[in-house]
Amino acid sequence: MEIKIMKNILDRNQNRANEVRELLAQKKVLMVNIISSPGAGKTTLLEHTCEALGARFRIGVIEGDITTDRDAQRLKKYNIPIVVINTEGGCHLDSHSISKVLGSFDLGNLDVLFVENVGNLICPSQFDLGETFKLAVVSTAEGDDKPGKYPMLFREARAVLLNKIDLIPYTNFSFENFSQDLKRINANVPLFQISCTKGDGMNGWYEWIGGQIEKR
Amino acid sequence: MEIKIMKNILDRNQNRANEVRELLAQKKVLMVNIISSPGAGKTTLLEHTCEALGARFRIGVIEGDITTDRDAQRLKKYNIPIVVINTEGGCHLDSHSISKVLGSFDLGNLDVLFVENVGNLICPSQFDLGETFKLAVVSTAEGDDKPGKYPMLFREARAVLLNKIDLIPYTNFSFENFSQDLKRINANVPLFQISCTKGDGMNGWYEWIGGQIEKR
């Protein structure tokens, strides 16, 4: 019985996601669904990305959070359109909540809409929001075994950002273990080794995401 | 409609959890439901706890994982009873899965049963497993804002382990921010600052959990 209920919810989510995807394609807006564990660095990534690409592209952000608007507050200084969705305990965003808030954006004046999903490596990967693609962010401090243990997100991601590489010397993280695991799950996915706070590897990310926005 | 379905699932979960709790009380087994984000250090905590307390107490472990038995493999060397529950994509353990595997343990020969829940700071805190109490583990590398942003677990936890304190010098983690957030949510919860890999603060944890097992 539970499976059937889940299937209905997923079907309804998929239908709405398809509508969202169609609308964004019409408006020529790239939507990036950013997924990670809590504290992997999604908001810091957005801060630096707004800083680096804000003059080149028209950026909007949807901030998914269980409660509080703290992440949105951190992005206010970039003077971009931001909408917060508080899930009030919910463990992921769904296409209905995205669809509802799209009306708050002037889509004709946007190039890219970043969606910062709720911090959760599991549930968000199961709900299509109508995004152009999913982006996986994972911190080296989480250990090198995450792709193998939480394969769903890594299988679906269009790119993987391995963040906090500056912490590797202080942990037992093995890049070899991590990349072997990842290759087994998603052989050709682009992998960026970055440190949002220290700046390492960020140019490669800016170049790649800039290319994705341009070819939307 | 979704709320009603969710309530039914939670009701059924609660009934089974009550049965589990009653059985464990009869058998005098303490059950600790360990919850954290992916990679906060639950398995490493269990490794060191088995090492330190294995001679004093009879320990059993239930390993909740989406897929793989990697965490269980890491604990094999302690020669303790371990059962793996693979949720096959599921984002939390529930009381039904716990109830089913309890028969695999000789409960009359156990003092404590540690349950390592699926790595997820959200969903597991909403499902009572019949545990004696929940234990929250959080890594400094996740940032100092986690109690405020993910309050459910921190509200319910009997104790909080702040792990990876050895990484603080290399991050922007503020202990003051963290503890203020936590106090607002759960004023008197015991907080242990530890590093499982470096050993800092572990004796305080062993003493506290030893006391909990003894007074079960």
Token couple for A23: 């609308």
Q: Which residue from B2, B66, B141 is facing A9, i.e. has the nearest CB?
A: B2
Percent of chain A with pLDDT over 90: 95
A166 contact partners, CB below 8 Å, separation of at least 6: A195, A197, A198, A200, B170
Question: Mind listing the pLDDT tens digit of every residue in chain B (216 residues)?
Answer: 456 667 788 889 999 999 999 999 999 999 999 999 999 999 999 999 999 999 999 999 999 999 999 999 999 999 999 999 999 999 999 999 999 999 999 999 999 999 999 999 999 999 999 999 999 999 999 999 999 999 999 999 999 999 999 999 999 999 999 999 999 999 999 999 999 999 999 999 999 999 999 999
| Residue A112, strand partner residues | A30, A59
| Window from A5-9, A11-15, A27-31, B203-207 with minimum mean pLDDT | A5-9
CB pairs under 8 A between A and B: 119
pLDDT at B92: 97
pLDDT in tens, A59-91: 999 999 999 999 999 999 999 999 999 999 999
pLDDT at B124: 97
Tell me whether residues A37 and B119 touch, CB distance under 8 A. yes
pLDDT at A81: 98
A81: closest CA of chain B, how far (Å): 22
pLDDT at B2: 54
Give the whole-angstrom CA distance, residue B212 versus residue B190.
13
Query: In this predicted model, which residue has the larger pLDDT, B131 or A11?
Result: B131
A150 shares contact with chain B (CB less than 8 Å): yes
Q: What ipTM, to 2 d.p.?
A: 0.94
DSSP at B108: G
| Residue A62, strand partner residues | A83, A115
**Chain A residues whose beta carbon lies within 8 Å of the beta carbon of residue B37:** 37-39, 119, 121, 142
Task: Report whether pLDDT(A170) > 80.
Answer: yes
**pLDDT band of A1, cuts 50, 70, 90:** very low
**Residue B71's CB: how many other CB atoms inside 10 A?**
22
With H, G, I as helix, E, B as strand and everything else as coil, classify residue B138.
Answer: strand
Q: How remote is the C-alpha of B163 from its chain's centroid?
A: 13
A17 contact partners, CB below 8 Å, separation of at least 6: A95, A127, A128, A129, A130
With H, G, I as helix, E, B as strand and everything else as coil, classify residue B140.
Answer: helix
Q: Which amino acid is at A37?
A: S
Give the whole-angstrom CA distance, residue B59 versus residue B112.
5
pLDDT at A3: 61
**pLDDT band of A2, cuts 50, 70, 90:** low
**Chain B residues whose beta carbon lies within 8 Å of the beta carbon of residue A5:** 5
- Mean residue pLDDT of chain A comes to 96
Nearest to A193 by CA among A181, A201, A204, A185: A201
B146 shares contact with chain A (CB less than 8 Å): yes
pLDDT at A209: 98
A171 shares contact with chain B (CB less than 8 Å): yes
Walk me through the domains of chain A, giving residue ranges and CATH numbers.
29-214 (3.40.50.300)
Nearest to B118 by CA among B126, B108, B107: B126
DSSP, residue by residue, chain A: -HHHHHHHHHHHHHHHHHHHHHHHHHHT-EEEEEE-STTSSHHHHHHHHHHHHTTTS-EEEEEEESS--HHHHHHGGG---EEEEE-TT-SS--HHHHHHHHTTS-GGG-SEEEEE--S-SSGGGGS--S-SEEEEEEEGGG-TTHHHHSHHHHHH-SEEEEE-GGGGGGS---HHHHHHHHHHHSTT--EEE--TTT-TTHHHHHHHHHHHHHT-
Tell me whether residues A141 and B139 touch, CB distance under 8 A. yes
pTM (two decimals): 0.95
DSSP β-ladder status, A30-35 and A112-116? parallel
Give the whole-angstrom CA distance, residue B52 versus residue B194.
15
pLDDT at B3: 61
Which segments of B93-212 are extended strands (E)?
A: 112-116, 133-139, 159-163, 191-193
